[in-house]
Structure 1
Amino acid sequence: MNTLTFLTETAPVLSTLLPMQIDIDPNSSGLPGINQLRTIVGAVMTVGLILSVLALIVSAIVWGFGANSSNPHLAGRGKVGVLVSCGAAIICGASVTLINFFWTVGQSV
């Protein structure tokens, strides 16, 4: 039996064994505790934003002390702290949008 004959004879069998289309979407009621998990994630996002504000305030104070005391190392650490706290706030605030964006990109692959 040559290869072409084998493929033409087994193609109908393989098409019934292999699924042609798989449609799976996220299920918000499939497991118990999903609503509580959403509440916990929202609370963690809130804590992250509050800590970002606290870090921004502390970093601005460190930056100010460093600039007024002629300590460039301390002023530089304060500047970095301001940037890091702003970046953390951006990521916390945009996390849901980023995940939804990449979910959409993954669905189009």
Structure 2
Amino acid sequence: MSAILPLAAVSFDPGVTPREGGLPGLNVLRDVMGSINLFAIIAVVGALALSALVWAWGHHSGGHQAEANGKKGVVVAAGAALVLGAANGIVAFFAALGERVQ
């Protein structure tokens, strides 16, 4: 038998909010995350170029499987570039949305 939690228990606010400057090294962590994001974007550019090359090679050589894999690679790399480029905005949007709900 499953118990249904009352609404008050589900919407309990522990009172924890993000605070800038709470820990030492926050600027270093931001720099590290920015660098990781940059390396990921550079890797995605390489993956996009390689996938486009496989797509073109598969199309011109009649390799339908290679062509399909190249197309999938281009779509996945483009999606990854979109998410990496928009990651900061996505997190900021949902963080602000969470603040408005309270």
TM range (shorter): 0.7 to 0.9
Structure 2 stretches of 5 or more lacking a match? 1-12
CA deviation profile, 1:47-90 (whole Å, cap 9, x unmatched): 11101100000000000110011011100000000000000000
Q: Greater Rg, structure 1 or structure 2?
A: 1
Q: Which residue of 1 aligns with 2:83?
A: 91
> After superposition, where does 1:1-109 map in structure 2 within 5 Å?
25-109=17-101
- The secondary structure found in structure 2 opposite 1:108 is helix
Runs of 4+ in structure 1 off by over 2 angstroms are 21-26
Q: CA RMSD in A?
A: 1.6
1:104 offset after TM fit, Å? Answer: 1.1
CA distance in 2, matches of 1:107, 1:38: 22
CA deviation profile, 1:1-59 (whole Å, cap 9, x unmatched): xxxxxxxxxxxxxxxxxxxx987542221101111000000001101110110000000
Q: Which residue of 1 aligns with 2:7?
A: none
Instruction: Give the % identical residues.
Output: 37
Total equivalences in the alignment: 89
Structure 1 stretches of 5 or more lacking a match? 1-20
